[in-house]
A and B are shown apart, each in its own frame.
Chain A
Amino acid sequence: MSSYEPSRNETQHPSVLCLVETDDGTVIEASLRALSFARSLAQSSQARLIAALVGEIPEITASSLGSFGVDEAYAVTSTQLSPYAPVAWAQALRQLLVTCGATTLLAAGSDRGNEVMAHVGALTSEPMAANCFGATRIDDETVRLSRQRWAGSLIEDSLLRSTTALMTVAFDGVSSQRAEHATTTKISAFAPNLDESDGRTHVARWTGRSAGISLADARVVVGGGRGVGSADGFAALDELAELLGGAVGVSRAVTSLGWRPHNQQVGQTGTRIAPDLYLVSGISGATQHLAGCQSAKRVVAINTDPDAPIISRADYAVIGDLNQIIPALAAAIRERNSLTS
């Protein structure tokens, strides 16, 4: 592949612009991954890496941007942008894109990232490629990319043909990597020109995090599927999850049967989990379920069927009836705890 020589004018270097989401001043993991992706795309086309953040940029945030190789960061502020208003965010990014002469705009493939980028696509009538994990610039109007389809069970290689490449970055397809050499990020302010209609659809109220261990953040998830056999059968899984300081996750078969609420569903149309341990029992391992646990560090499966697909995706497996094994394991842990305490 011939290396890409960007066309330059005197004043502006080509640049890659990346929307960065923060939570209490900390850059979220999905955005760190998006930045890592953006940096390698920028490097492949000798472009500058520019970050866009809504609101002020505190010192601590600036330094983590620097460690990810961000050359310049814009603090984007306007009364229309907060509380969160998707169209206003998209308008602001679109204006910033012009201001800094970027040819690529990226965001994390988070709910918010996908939403804002889809609005940018709609406002500009440009295509938007969601959940990319690989990209190289070919020429001024073409990016070759790889993106996830079927929630990561399939990969599509394609050419994105647009003078402004709009993409979101797949969470499970990219890791967050600091730059080899940290940069000192230049901080600039950007006040977009927004009117009230841009902020018309906005968050009217945010109810903060609920207490307890959330499935998405749990270090241990005890999974149960159709094989659990009944709603009552989950009592043993609840107990084991409690002993392990974890949460219970279930398959869609279980939520469709009404055995468990949907907020416990793991998978493509449920929650994506990233625990140290996913102890998964009575779940066959359909692609749509596996889509939700790609980031689990270790998968241990319990299944009566040694040929169940989950067995070939797990690190360890026990062949047998979960309704005997789970209670026996819980009893063994209780006994161990009583000896060590």
Chain B
Amino acid sequence: MNVLVCIKRVAMVGARIVVTPDGQEIDTKQLGFTVSPHEECAVEEAVRIVERLGGTVSVLTLGPSEASEQLRDAAAIGATHLVHLKTDGREFDPIATAQAIVEVVHQLEAVSGTYDLILFGNEAPDTGDYQVGIRVAHSLDRPCVTGVKNLEVAETSARARREFRGGDELFELDLPCVLTVKEGINLPRYPSLPGRMRAKKAVIEEFEPVWQASLVVKEGLRVPNVTRERAEILGTGVDAVPALLALLEQIGVLS
């Protein structure tokens, strides 16, 4: 079983987002970086599948040089091959990202065989485009299911479940296929110390992706106006309970 997981380095924004003066980027000077929880779960899922069925876990990212940190984080929990499509920091839109990934998948598969599974996070936390996995699947002519929260993989097939209107939808797929997963599919492990040591020394295979201009031309970013005033303070500690009770009564949530 060969599994490829695609991840994206994003800023770990806190309570408020700050936009750069030119309005084109978010100001990340004070921020750490991470990947989406969806993608952490995708890596964990891949590692579990391969622990059970044998095989390899490759992790791919398209991003600036620093994105190698996110690849090493994935190696620390068990990814065996690291692939970096190194950008010069320019933003790749979903079409450009998908094309760059497909190019590299073709090259990698020519050497080491087809990936039975390609996993993505359901959506990137920053752009929220909901489409890179689907575009890759179409280019490779492989079936695709998004939003997967439960996955059973056998040698040549997979059963993928996801939530739909309070119930759950089951898909049955033949491998190879492309899946985008959501947080909750598993609870990712913490990296072990030996895992971290291994990750430091892991080899990263690098590629140069081709940038192309987006047809969604960004004019600028802005932070939404939050009109809300500071909260009305009802009180401190248990002394505030009568006021809280009166409020619940007034809102009409008490039977």
A residues sitting closer than 8 Å to B (CB atoms) are 23, 84, 86, 111-112, 114-115, 117-119, 121-123, 125-131, 144, 148-162, 168, 200-210, 214, 216-217, 219-220, 244-246, 252, 255-256, 258, 261-263, 265, 268-270, 276-277, 284-288, 298-301, 306, 309, 311-321, 324-325, 328-329, 332-333, 336-337
Q: Which of B1-9, B62-70, B200-208, B232-240 lies at the interface?
A: B232-240
Q: Which residues of B contact A150 (CB under 8 A)?
A: 13, 17, 125-126, 128
Q: Is the CB of B214 within 8 A of A209?
A: no
Nearest CB in chain A: distance from B159 CB, A: 8
Is B245's beta carbon under 8 Å from chain A?
A: yes
Given contacts A161-B217, A207-B168, A262-B184, contact A320 B238 (CB under 8 A): yes
Q: Is the CB of B251 within 8 A of A207?
A: no
Question: Which among B170, B182, B231, B248 has the highest number of chain A CB atoms within 10 Å?
Answer: B231
Q: Is the CB of A122 within 8 A of B134?
A: yes
Q: Which residues of B contact A324 (CB under 8 A)?
A: 237-238
B residues sitting closer than 8 Å to A (CB atoms) are 13-17, 19, 26, 36-38, 93-95, 123, 125-131, 134-135, 137-139, 143-147, 162-173, 182-184, 187, 214-224, 226, 228, 230-238, 240-245, 247-248, 251-255
Interchain pairs with CB closer than 8 A, number: 257
For A332, give its contact among B143, B163, B234, B245 (CB under 8 Å). Answer: B245
Given contacts A123-B138, A153-B13, contact A111 B253 (CB under 8 A): no
Q: Is the CB of B245 within 8 A of A336?
A: yes
For B215, give its contact among A122, A162, A317 (CB under 8 Å). Answer: A162
Q: Is the CB of B15 within 8 A of A318?
A: no
Return the chain B residue nearest A203 by Cβ: B169
CA distance A306 to B147 in the complex (A): 37
Query: Can you name 10 extra interface pairs (CB under 8 A) apart from A127-B93, A156-B218, A309-B16?
Result: A111-B147, A122-B135, A122-B138, A125-B95, A156-B221, A269-B38, A269-B125, A276-B253, A317-B231, A318-B235
Q: Is the CB of B16 within 8 A of A287?
A: yes
Given contacts A155-B221, A202-B171, A204-B172, contact A119 B134 (CB under 8 A): yes
Q: Which residues of A contact B137 (CB under 8 A)?
A: 122
Given contacts A122-B134, A332-B242, contact A159 B231 (CB under 8 A): no
Cross-chain pairs A/B with CB under 8 angstroms, 17 sampled:
A111-B164, A115-B130, A115-B146, A121-B134, A126-B215, A150-B128, A153-B17, A161-B216, A161-B217, A203-B171, A204-B172, A205-B169, A207-B168, A252-B37, A258-B187, A318-B234, A325-B238
Q: Is the CB of A152 within 8 A of B232?
A: no
For B183, give its contact among A270, A287, A321 (CB under 8 Å). Answer: A270
Q: Is the CB of B237 within 8 A of A149?
A: no
For A153, give its contact among B224, B241, B242 (CB under 8 Å). Answer: B224
For B226, give its contact among A158, A159, A210, A313 (CB under 8 Å). Answer: A313
Q: Is the CB of B144 within 8 A of A201?
A: yes
For A160, give its contact among B215, B252, B253 (CB under 8 Å). Answer: B215
Given contacts A130-B128, A160-B216, contact A115 B135 (CB under 8 A): no
